[in-house]
Chain A
Amino acid sequence: DAKTTQPPSMDCAEGRAANLPCNHSTISGNEYVYWYRQIHSQGPQYIIHGLKNNETNEMASLIITEDRKSSTLILPHATLRDTAVYYCIVRVAGGNQGGKLIFGQGTELSVKP
C-alpha cells in the first residue's frame, strides 16, 4: 500500500503558485520523498525529491516539515501545461528492490486560465 495521502483534486489559476500537500506520517528515517507527475496518457515525469532539507530545481520547490511527516510541492507559476496528476511517493533511494515506487492515487491538479 502507498504510504502517502494526498487530496484527490485541486484547482489553481494560471500564473499563480500551486501548492500540493502530502502526508507521510509513517515515513522511515532512510526514506526520501519523491514527486512525480503524469500528464494524460503519458509515463510519469520526475519532478523533485528530498530527504529532510527543502529542495528547489527548475521545475518546483519541495518543502518538508521538520518532523518529515508531511511535505508540500510548490509550482511557483503554474501554467496550463502543468495540468496533470501529481504523485507523492516515499521510498528508499537506490535502484534495488527496496527502491521500488508504490503509487497512491495522487492529486489531479487543474490549472485554469
Chain B
Amino acid sequence: GAVVSQHPSWVICKSGTSVKIECRSLDFQATTMFWYRQFPKQSLMLMATSNEGSKATYEQGVEKDKFLINHASLTLSTLTVTSAHPEDSSFYICSAHGGTGEAFFGQGTRLTVV
C-alpha cells in the first residue's frame, strides 16, 4: 500500500517553544491530509483537514492559532504546535488518502512538553 512518512517520531521540547511535525506522502500525491491527536488509552481525535494550497479546516474546539497547518505541496503537510505546554503532550498522527479512498497513516509523533 501507499506510504505516509511522519517526522520526527518523537520530540521533547520545553514549555513555550514551538514544534513542527512533518507528514509526507512518499509514493502518491495527496490533495488532502488529516491530522489527529491521541491521548493515552483514548481513540484518535480528528483535529483538522489539511488542503493543498488553501487554509486548513479545523474541527470544533481545536485552536487554529495554536495548531498551525501548512500544506504547501501535494506531498507535504506540516503541523506546528505553537507555544507548547505540558497539556499539549500527546501522540500526533497524520493521514492521507490514496487513489482508491483508503487512508494511510503516518507512524505518529510522540510529543512531550516539559
Binding site for B on A (CB under 8 A): 32, 34, 36, 38, 41-46, 49, 87, 93-97, 99-106
Provide the residues of chain A in CB contact with B104, threshold 8 Å.
46
Asked if A44 contacts B46 (CB within 8 A), the reply is no
How far, in Å, is A52 (CB) from chain B's closest CB? 15
CA distance A103 to B42 in the complex (A): 10
Asked if B103 contacts A103 (CB within 8 A), the reply is no
Asked if A105 contacts B105 (CB within 8 A), the reply is no
Residue of A34, A45, A95, A100 touching B105 (CB-CB under 8 A) = A45
**A103-B43, A104-B43 are known contacts. Are A49 and B49 too (CB-CB below 8 A)?**
no
Q: How many Cβ-Cβ contacts under 8 Å join chain A to chain B?
A: 67
Return 14 A-B CB contacts under 8 Å, by A number.
A34-B102, A34-B103, A41-B91, A43-B93, A43-B106, A43-B108, A46-B103, A93-B101, A94-B97, A95-B30, A95-B97, A96-B32, A100-B34, A101-B103
Asked if A49 contacts B102 (CB within 8 A), the reply is yes
Asked if A106 contacts B97 (CB within 8 A), the reply is no
Asked if A100 contacts B46 (CB within 8 A), the reply is yes
Asked if B43 contacts A49 (CB within 8 A), the reply is no
Residue of A32, A101, A105 touching B34 (CB-CB under 8 A) = A101
**A97-B49, A97-B57, A103-B45 are known contacts. Are A44 and B93 too (CB-CB below 8 A)?**
yes
Interface residues of B in 95-114 (CB under 8 A from A): 95-98, 100-108, 110
CA distance A58 to B52 in the complex (A): 33
